[in-house]
Chain A
Amino acid sequence: MMDVGRHPRIKLLAYSEVEEVSGYVGNFRVKVRKKARYVDEEECTACGDCVDVCPVIMPDEYQMGLSSRRAIYIPFPQAVPSSYTINIEECLGVQPIACGKCAEKCDKGCIDFDMKDEIVELEVGTIIVAVGMEVYDPTLLDEYGYTRFENVITTLEFERLVDSGGPLGGRFARPTDGRVPKRIGFIQCVGSRTERRGNSYCSNICCMNTVKDSLLLRDHYPEIDITVFYLDMRAFGKGFEDLYKRSKDAGVRYVRGLPGEVKEDPETRNLLVTVENTTAGRLEEHELDMLVLSVGLEPREDSKTVQQLLSLSRTSDGFFLESHPKLKPVDTPTRGVFLAGCAEGPKDIKESVTQASAAAARAQIILNQDKIPIEAITPMIDLDLCNFCGRCARVCPYGAIVDVDPKRKVSPRVIEAACAGCGTCSAECPVGAITQRHFGDEQFFAQLEAMLGEGPEEKIVVFACHWCSYPGGDMAGVSRLQYPPSARVIRTMCSGRTGERLILRAFALGAPMVLVSGCHFADCHYINANRWTQRRVERLWDRLERAGIRPERLQLEWISAAEGQKFARVMGELEEMRKKVTPEEIEYTKQVLAEKA
């Protein structure tokens, strides 16, 4: 951090918040609110004289509330810049000044109660999102007694207690009586790998953190008896298994099974832990002086704000979604925005550093280019046809269509560097003024005419997205799964490209069934383009029904690249439905659509 703070080409805006991001790759404009510290950070030498006189005592967040700080404080000892900050909510009052002792004491006159938030505007070419994560709050898991028993603490609290810079100066002791515990237990997977309370995913770091903590305790306090309660230890990194073995060899006891109940002895304040040891196949009771809950990691609460600021996607567990899990693990769907660290998912320091290095390198590639190559799948707008309705701009997940103004009849303009080529604008344009390069209506019509030229009543037209459903069909094939040969697949970049015109043309050419398929909502490679697919299909169901056509003939399915089995099952079900579509029905559909054309 010190190096970052001193680097001549790094501008560090601490105690600041991003309020607005506009523009696109190579041309982002970022508006940042630099919050008022009420202390001149350039002049402050962090002498600490102001702290000595501040009368306000508050729990210290960095020390997990285990010690206190003043209303004027440095968030943590290594903070950069090393300058004090006044929490104005906690200060006794500045309008008018109610106390002012810190200002009186500061010889350099660094304290300025009139300081205001400052808006800083930056122009940047790329953005790296490294917002980190939060730690699971175990107050919901009442069976472990975190809210009831003082000697039940979390791993973060444990870290502060053993830290030489912590509230106890590194002399580890239990909270109730200040003596060194004789028996200490760790409970793994608190808030992780559970559907009931907490999160279903593995938090990745907790097992090795406990192994590290156990060795640290063994080193400093060899007399402490350590027991770890676990589901299964996940020591998958380089050297991790050795560390785990070292911990076991050092006498740390590992009990497979998570405690069902924790009680407290009111006299000794010791904890009685009941656990089913699934290795030994017996119920055990352990008396411990202290219990440490190995809490998992969660996405930050404000992830949604960051998501909206940068047009990003998030997975169902709330972490930011990478552009491709294998080939673009640090890229995001928004070109020029990269991910590093736990913003993308729980990970340890080594992985975070690796990812941060990769993100920096990816950003450098863009910054070192004069021109950015883009795929030739961006939209072209026929301004003679455009009616300036602005729908294209509204549906674009990337904000890549700008300038359009229905009132003043200003034409839309495509920022091709920002466009990712989902084709949703083309599908949603009510007058067909937008053509996606290489995925134009005429090209799809030609494919439909070719596949439905002969025996259309025996075919099922499948529109499958490039990223998920089409590979899902591939997966069914390479897995040698059987599915009916009636499927005729047309690839679109995104299901968002499958417009009404394409679907209706398929029916008009005699298709008995049409399937629109795309990525699951959480996996959409174009942020949220498949939400527009769902809305459009819902709209079409109504329209078909009004025209006397059974809406069941248009089907919708979300199929991931790994769901080959689902693809095969769906095709089997659709084949059964196809057989029930009568020639009269097909003829009627063709007739109705021909009249409407």
Chain B
Amino acid sequence: MAEEAEFKCLRCGHEFIAPYDKENPQEHTCPKCRSNSVRRIKT
């Protein structure tokens, strides 16, 4: 099962959880505003 990570949209500020694979980067889209400016929140 793919690992998940927390992301923050740098356009609307929405925070969400999405699959994350460091080796194979995925195209991430904010589920709220559809922006691709999505930043992984590093814990």
Q: How far is the CB of A428 from the nearest CB of chain B, in Å?
A: 15
Q: Mark A157-177, 1 if CB is under 8 A from B, else 0.
A: 000000000000000000000
Q: Do A556 and B25 touch across chains, with their CB atoms under 8 A apart?
A: no
Q: A326 on the interface (CB 8 Å rule)? A: no
Q: Do B25 and A535 touch across chains, with their CB atoms under 8 A apart?
A: yes
Q: Do A552 and B27 touch across chains, with their CB atoms under 8 A apart?
A: no
Contacts of A570 in B (CB 8 A): 35
Instruction: Provide the bound-state CA to CA distance between A94 and B36, in Å.
Output: 58
Contacts of B11 in A (CB 8 A): 552, 555, 573, 577
Q: Mark B1-43, 1 if CB is under 8 A from A, else 0.
A: 0000000001100000000000001110000010111111000
Tell me whether A541 and B35 are in contact in the complex, defined as CB-CB below 8 angstroms, given that A520-B27, A577-B11 are known contacts.
no
Q: Mark A98-119, 1 if CB is under 8 A from B, else 0.
A: 0000000000000000000000
Q: Do A541 and B10 touch across chains, with their CB atoms under 8 A apart?
A: yes
Instruction: Provide the bound-state CA to CA distance between A535 and B28, in Å.
Output: 12
Q: A458 on the interface (CB 8 Å rule)? A: no
- Give the bracket for the number of chain A residues in contact with chain B: 10 to 19
Contacts of A577 in B (CB 8 A): 11
Tell me whether A551 and B36 are in contact in the complex, defined as CB-CB below 8 angstroms, given that A521-B26, A521-B27, A573-B11 are known contacts.
no
Instruction: Provide the bound-state CA to CA distance between A556 and B10, in Å.
Output: 9
Q: Do B37 and A556 touch across chains, with their CB atoms under 8 A apart?
A: yes
Q: Do A538 and B10 touch across chains, with their CB atoms under 8 A apart?
A: no
Contacts of A541 in B (CB 8 A): 10, 39
Contacts of A556 in B (CB 8 A): 36-38
Contacts of A521 in B (CB 8 A): 25-27
Tell me whether A557 and B36 are in contact in the complex, defined as CB-CB below 8 angstroms, given that A521-B27, A541-B10 are known contacts.
yes
Tell me whether A555 and B37 are in contact in the complex, defined as CB-CB below 8 angstroms, given that A541-B10, A573-B11, A577-B11 are known contacts.
yes
| Contact of B35 (CB < 8 Å), options: A520, A522, A557 | A557
Q: How far is the CB of B10 from the nearest CB of chain A, in Å?
A: 5
Tell me whether A538 and B37 are in contact in the complex, defined as CB-CB below 8 angstroms, given that A521-B26, A521-B27, A573-B11 are known contacts.
no
A/B interface sample: 12 pairs, CB < 8 A: A521-B26, A538-B40, A554-B37, A555-B11, A555-B37, A556-B37, A557-B35, A557-B36, A570-B35, A573-B11, A573-B33, A577-B11
Given contacts A551-B39, A555-B11, A555-B37, 10 further A-B contacts (CB under 8 A): A534-B27, A535-B25, A552-B10, A554-B10, A554-B37, A555-B10, A555-B35, A556-B38, A557-B37, A558-B27
Closest 8 pairs (CB-CB, A-B)? A521-B27, A555-B37, A552-B10, A531-B25, A556-B37, A557-B36, A558-B36, A556-B36
